[in-house]
Structure 1
Amino acid sequence: MPPYDSVRFGDPGSVFETFTHLGHLTAATENAVLGTGAAVLPLRGPLLVAKAAATVDVLSGGRMLLGLASGDRPVEYPLFGRDCETRVTAFREGRPAPLPHARGPAVTCGDAGCGKALAEEVGP
């Protein structure tokens, strides 16, 4: 997918990788709420999304707002080796992994298809 395809998608936000851009905005702002309109969970690992969101939340002093979606751009899925037709199932299967609040309890991924259960503290 081109980094910016205004004809098909109309959003310049697709120029940058979401969490990298939020890291930059964390350093460049002090009061703005930082968030994802909708991170496409089937194209990312649920625990990686959780870690990225928790990282932005901690570094920004609690300004992170996480939005998740199953995706609506079929052209993206082959680029990630994923099947667009199974995106809703992949979203539902990825969602059970608790997406931790940076100051929250331990994260487990036993229900997220990780194999064995994990428990790691997230945040400071």
Structure 2
Amino acid sequence: MVLTMLLMAAAATVVTGDFDRDGVPDQAFLRSVGGELQVVISGHKGETIVYTGRDDGSSTYLGKLRPGTYATACAKGLGPNPLPCDPWSIRVVGDTLEFGTPESSQAAVLWSDGAYRVVWLSD
């Protein structure tokens, strides 16, 4: 019962921010489709699926990163092959979406050169 409530709460989460820096608010949300979990950003230009992973029932969260500089998972030596590392850190100055699982993984969704890019901060 508690797990079902957590999953329903995560699925109902909508995060609003100007994630693509166009001056118009966007909405980010989670969508479960055929055993996969999608992180979706919807704006005035339509929907963009920024990440797709296995929907294993974990409590995936969405939020906004606070302004600051963050070391990436690669720079921390996490993952199977930490080099080359691009980027070693990210700097957050505006609305930046984050997602992950509590106490496990964290990723930032960056807007750069007209497209979204996922950068893992922890795995």
User: TM-score per shorter chain, which class?
Assistant: under 0.3
TM-score, with length taken from structure 1: 0.23
Q: Determine which structure has more spread, i.e. the larger CA radius of gyration.
A: 1
Higher strand proportion (structure 1 or 2): 2
TM-score, with length taken from structure 2: 0.23
